Structure 1
């Protein structure tokens, strides 16, 4: 799980906040509410998850409970990898 979180953190830092560590949200923070991600960013995030981890994100899985925050993303990917 640590590897999953590290890879997600790296993506958020490099791609969503463009290397600005001061804008990096806490793991439990909403990426949407903190302004880190918008609808286009969510598509980029899904593409990252699918290519980086080899998982498929179904349309019905694109909900905040799965994708809105590093903690939630880590748990979602971990569940997908275990399935």
Structure 2
């Protein structure tokens, strides 16, 4: 079954919670969420700016900076193959 945006957000929030981050309770309106192949890409939303992006695929999250790494490399690092 394909991953949904809601599932991807829950995975991202769990990932943040595991790191002790206050962002763990974030909602969809806090993010710009874009589908990428069979994953989701999260970037800061709501007028906030950040160079940090998050790719969520299944139960895996990859945090990366667009200025130093590619989306494709981040996607593949968490098992993306499409």
- Pick the structure with more strand per residue: 2
